[in-house]
Amino acid sequence: MPWSDALLVLLAGIGAGTINTIVGSGTLITFPTLLLLGIPPVTANISNNIGLVPGSLTGAIGYRKELEGAGPDLKRLAPMSFLGGALGAVLLLVLAPDLFKAIVPVLIVVGIALVVVGPWINAWTARRREAAGVDGEPEHTVAMQAGAFGAGVYGGYFGAAQGIILMGILGALSPKPLQRLNGYKNVLATIVNAVAAIVFVLVAFGQIDWLVVLLIAVGSTIGGVIGSTVGRRLPPAVLRGAIVVIGLVAVTRMVVAG
């Protein structure tokens, strides 16, 4: 690979790691970059997924303050992300690439909608619980687990805007602060990416471009640090707005590219 191409992949990795930590959809930077350089789609997708794992991990570590006391919630959600990520990775290897392509923009739009209406859903649920004399914050645990599994399947298969979908689901079903939920999102996305990467290494080793993996890994690690520093300082309204804007850009790019 020429040094100019390697530099481009490295920079794309930094951008993806930053955006993934703050919102999600960093794959929409790296994946098209790899295709532009002539790397076959499946190889690009698999190599990109493996390379983004270190960036997801550094992003999750950067949110450790927001994750204090999150153990009970993550114990319920993490296994669902693990199972979903494994299933999604297997689907990538056995199903036709175009099968999910048609519904990906729909999933992203649903995620954006959930981000927008989440506060109203939570407020409505809280009013109903108060009227019924039920104490405590409303939280839809089973629905959150189902959502984590579904987002895991999608993330293991392709991963672009996985974070947006996760934030939409968590924001709509949990009353917890958005920054705390963003920490949850980073942990769950790390699990999905990691289990998918393990599946790819075990089953599709010959389709991995390890130079691409290395470049994206270095870049996404740097980006994860940047993203956790910037993202943790964003007020909830700004973070919610960033999710919506990036999500709409993601949908537009995917529809145009399709």
Question: pLDDT higher for 98 or 59?
Answer: 59
HSE of 218, CA atoms in CB hemisphere, 13 A: 11
CA 247, CA 227: separation in Å to the nearest integer? 17
Residue 11 CA to its chain's centroid (Å): 19
Q: Are 214 and 4 in contact (CB under 8 A)?
A: no
pLDDT-derived band at 68 (thresholds 50, 70, 90) equals confident
Q: What is residue 138's predicted lDDT score, i.e. its pLDDT?
A: 53
pLDDT of residue 100: 62
CA–CA distance, 174 with 44 (Å, rounded to integer): 35
Structure confidence at residue 192 (pLDDT): 93
The pLDDT-based confidence of 11 (bands split at 50, 70, 90) is very high
Q: How confident is residue 9, by pLDDT bands cut at 50, 70 and 90?
A: very high
Q: What is the pTM of this model?
A: 0.78
Where is average pLDDT lowest: 42-56, 92-106, 207-221?
92-106
Residue 246 has pLDDT above 70, yes or no: no
Q: What is the C-alpha to C-alpha distance for residues 65 and 49, in angstroms, rounded to an integer?
A: 26
- Count CB neighbours of 73 within 10 A: 20
Tell me how far apart the alpha carbons of residues 14 and 211 are, in angstroms, rounded to a whole number.
16
Identify the CA nearest to 144 among candidates 120, 117, 114, 124.
114
Q: Which pLDDT belongs to residue 258?
A: 60
209 compared with 252, residue with greater pLDDT: 209
pLDDT at 122 over 80: no
**pLDDT given for residue 132 in this prediction:** 56
258 vs 249: CA distance, rounded Å: 14
The pLDDT, as a whole number, for residue 134 is: 47
Give the pLDDT confidence of 151-206 residue by residue, as tens digits.
999 888 877 677 777 877 887 787 787 788 888 988 998 999 899 999 989 988 88
pLDDT over 80 at 76, yes or no:
yes
CA dihedral sign, ordered 246, 251, 252, 257 = positive
3-state SS class at 232 = coil
CA angle 140, 137, 190 (to 5 degrees): 55
What is the token pair recorded at 116?
């927008």
